[in-house]
């Protein structure tokens, strides 16, 4: 009986690990899509409202649409402390531990580019980075489609194999 419970625990733990790794890929894709949505909103705020970057940071935080992105709330806080938007953006992005190195690099490039040109230059810069985020999200979706299934299947299969070896 105890042996059976041990085997069941190993099986379920292994399956849960497979699901966990699969979900990590899925969450990264969702985060990339949220970041894309944020850039589109920044684009619209610059284009139609002609807001400053500090006002945009405040609006992003107040909208609540981007609460799952930790750096947005930190950005709003940093903007009130610092005069320089690029420094606030950089500090906020570096503070977010959930971001991958690739995401951090892209977001740091965005922060360095915003506010350095006129309105049309900023809009074209945002269009460029929106297309890069689209590509990254598409790649992550493909990765989830392929590796997500593999992680789930491998978790279940390895749990079953270990269970059989123990019995």
pTM score of the predicted model: 0.84
pLDDT of residue 18: 92
Determine the average pLDDT of the residues in 42-63: 89
pLDDT greater than 80 at residue 36: yes
Q: Are 86 and 115 in contact (CB under 8 A)?
A: yes
Whether 106 contacts 96, CB under 8 Å: no
* pLDDT > 90? residue 141: yes
Beta-carbon contacts of 43 under 8 Å, excluding residues fewer than 6 positions away, are: 123, 126, 127, 130
Number of domains in the chain: 1
CA distance 16 to 68: 24
Residue 101 lies in a domain: yes
**What's the domain range around 112?**
30-149
Examine residue 24 and state whether it is found in any structural domain, yes or no.
no
In a domain, 22, yes or no: no
Asked if the structure places residue 11 within a domain, the reply is: no
pLDDT, one tens digit per residue, over 18-32 is 999 999 999 999 999
Residue 13 counted as domain residue: no
80 domain residue, yes or no: yes
């Amino acid at each position: 009986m105890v042996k059976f419970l041990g085997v069941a625990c190993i099986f379920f733990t292994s399956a849960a690990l497979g699901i966990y790794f699969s979900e990590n890929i899925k969450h990264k894709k969702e985060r990339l899509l949220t970041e894309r949505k944020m850039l589109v909103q920044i684009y619209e705020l610059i284009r139609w409202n002609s807001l400053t970057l500090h006002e945009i940071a405040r609006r992003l935080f107040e909208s609540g649409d981007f609460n799952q992105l930790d750096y947005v709330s930190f950005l709003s806080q940093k903007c009130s402390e610092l005069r320089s938007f690029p420094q606030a953006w950089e500090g906020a992005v570096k503070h977010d531990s959930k971001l991958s190195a690739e995401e951090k690099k892209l977001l740091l490039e965005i922060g360095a580019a915003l506010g350095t040109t006129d309105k049309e230059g900023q809009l074209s810069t945002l269009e460029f980075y929106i297309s890069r985020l689209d590509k990254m999200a598409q790649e992550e979706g493909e990765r989830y489609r392929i590796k997500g299934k593999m992680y789930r299947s491998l978790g279940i299969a390895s749990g079953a194999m270990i269970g059989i070896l123990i019995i």
